[in-house]
Amino acid sequence: MKIAIPLAEGKLCAHFGHCEQFALVEVADDKIVGKELLTPPPHEPGVLPAWLAEQKATQIIAGGMGVRAQQLFANNDIEVVLGASPDSPEAIVEQFLAGSLATGSNLCDH
């Protein structure tokens, strides 16, 4: 499992398309076994889902994203988890793995 988390200033960014970096957190046996910080290509419709698929992401945890982006992630076999609050990538993934990640509304309205 490889979980993508959009970051701004080291914490989850409320909108994935406006992030500075992506943390790609690798998980095996329900434990974090690696983390990469990658600078994404410029944000244009459809680019980030395809790019994250190339990076072998299996999930993306974000604060919010538009419906079209959600569809593009689904088309690339990447599970979307929305409504997460800003925190460090490690804390978010640990909560996700424990089934205790608090998610709320999609923070994006387009």
Q: Domain locations in the chain?
A: 2-98
Beta pairing, strands 79-81 & 59-61: parallel
In Å, how far are 40, 41, 59, 87 from 20, measured between CA atoms? 7, 10, 18, 15
60 near 34, Cβ under 8 Å? no
pLDDT tens per residue across span 31-86: 999 999 999 998 788 899 999 999 999 999 999 888 898 999 999 999 999 999 99
pTM of the model: 0.92
The architecture that CATH gives domain 2-98 is 2-Layer Sandwich (3.30)
The alpha carbon torsion through 103, 105, 109, 110 (nearest 10 deg) reads: 50
